[in-house]
Amino acid sequence: MRKAEIDALLLAHAGRARPVAFFHVLRQTRLEADDHAFLVEHERDLGPADLLRWRSRCEGDASRIVIGILAARARSSPDVFEHEILGSPRLDLSDADWSLLEAEVAGNVPERVLDLVRARGGVRTARPVEDGYVTPRRIESAELKNEDVPPIELDGPPWDALSTRELFDAVRAGRIALDEQGLATLVMSRARSTTEDWSSVVCDFPAGLQDAVIEKARRTTRGNERANLLAWLEAHGASRGALLDLALDRERESASLALMSWVDKQLGSRASWEKHGPDIVFRLLGQRSYADMADLATLAYSRAPREGEGPPRGLVEAIHAAFALAFVKTAREALKLGDTKAAMAVLSALACLDPPSRVSATVHELRRVPDVPAEVLEILAVNERLVKHSAATEASLEAIIAAVHVLVDALA
């Protein structure tokens, strides 16, 4: 990266060097002179893992700089150095690195630490795999034992004391006389007023109660309940687009893995991600539902069929493209509103992704927004360069999670 690009990213992260190093500079496979200069300037902000990542990306004599910093930390805090550096599960240092490190710390650290340096960090024992892991399985409904519901003695209205389950069972058993229209009216009234969880009772609802279920799904503040109601609506033929709109209309609702799991099932193919993915991510980002964004990506990767060691490349490209397009749309709206901080945050997150090059035109169009600040143009230039030459070969779940963390950090 060029110094101007790094400075723009630093501004996006409110002057905090560590996020810039962790999410951007050290995620590059190859470092340039300005990258090394930035890391040297802010080496006090780097943790042990950052230093080791830096060393793994060094070429030629650049590694001597990192070894010198490690040696300085060993001399100032030998116990911390022993635990965090020498105790690291993986130490990819060359023989020349170890020899230089030994020469730098000899006589300045306790003998036990020096012995570990001479032993190249010491022996690393593999952690044994324990027996007794629980294997999850699907429980069929036939295995569940339902207790018989005792009969309810009714003298007539009021019925408000009954739960929706009790009320529905009483109507179905003929203890309350209601025709289909009367039942639909009563259940709709319940949908608008009750705080009950309908996750179980909805399984027994007839198709004629679809409007009431939609109303209940719209009003509930429980993500798990909404996911169950959406599953019922899907089984009764409601359109995918309408259900996705309902799933994401969540102003009063907390994050829900169950709800994101239902949404992910609607995005099981490349075509689905291309059609619905950008809008879904855009709406989640607008709600600042960062946990849901991470869950959605994780579920998509974990549930996808395998091609070799990962999901199909076309699906991965579509997921990264969806996140990228959502970020660009958010940046455009932020620039139009004069919200430079938000625009820089989402463009900083965009730099973590590896979308296909077809996204480049959309990224470049941001330059057409009037009065784009100079610092935003610098981050935009980073993205233009990255996307233009991208083949999406490095697209990964880790990149999306990194992008989400950038949003959390930059918008905090």
Query: Beta-carbon neighbour count of residue 348 at 10 Å?
Result: 30
Domain boundary among 245, 260, 275: 260
Q: Whole domain around residue 201: which residue ranges?
A: 162-260
| Residue 157 to residue 161: CA distance in whole angstroms | 10
Domain boundary among 221, 238, 260: 260
pTM: 0.74
Whether 293 and 239 share a structural domain = no
The pLDDT, as a whole number, for residue 365 is 94
Identify the top-confidence range among 45-49, 156-160, 255-259.
Answer: 45-49
- Residue 208's closest CA among 162, 157, 161, 168? 168
Query: Beta-carbon neighbour count of residue 130 at 10 Å?
Result: 6
Whether 319 and 401 share a structural domain = yes
* Inter-axis angle of helices 111-118 and 95-105, nearest 10: 160
Q: What is the pLDDT of residues 101-113, one digit of tens each?
A: 999 999 999 999 9
Whether 272 and 397 share a structural domain = yes
The pLDDT, as a whole number, for residue 14 is 86
Q: Is residue 240 included in any domain, yes or no?
A: yes
Q: Is residue 360 included in any domain, yes or no?
A: yes
Whether 284 and 393 share a structural domain = yes
Whether 302 and 218 share a structural domain = no
Q: What is the pLDDT of residues 13-70, one digit of tens each?
A: 989 999 999 989 998 888 999 999 999 999 999 998 899 999 999 988 889 999 999 9
Q: What is the pLDDT of residues 204-229, one digit of tens each?
A: 888 889 999 999 998 888 888 999 99
Domain boundary among 233, 260, 287: 260
Whether 284 and 313 share a structural domain = yes
Could you tell me if residue 13 is left (phi over 0), alpha (psi between -120 and 50 degrees) or otherwise beta? alpha
Instruction: Say if residue 99 is exposed, middle or buried (CB neighbours under 10 Å; 0-12, 13-18, 19+).
Output: middle
Domains: count for the chain: 2
Whether 167 and 256 share a structural domain = yes
Q: Is residue 289 included in any domain, yes or no?
A: yes
Whether 237 and 325 share a structural domain = no
Q: Is residue 50 included in any domain, yes or no?
A: no
| Residue 255 to residue 288: CA distance in whole angstroms | 10
Whether 312 and 192 share a structural domain = no
Whether 169 and 239 share a structural domain = yes
- Residue 71's closest CA among 41, 107, 42, 33? 107
Whether 255 and 272 share a structural domain = no
Q: Is residue 390 included in any domain, yes or no?
A: yes
Query: Beta-carbon neighbour count of residue 147 at 10 Å?
Result: 5
| CA-CA-CA-CA torsion sign (84, 69, 9, 380) | negative
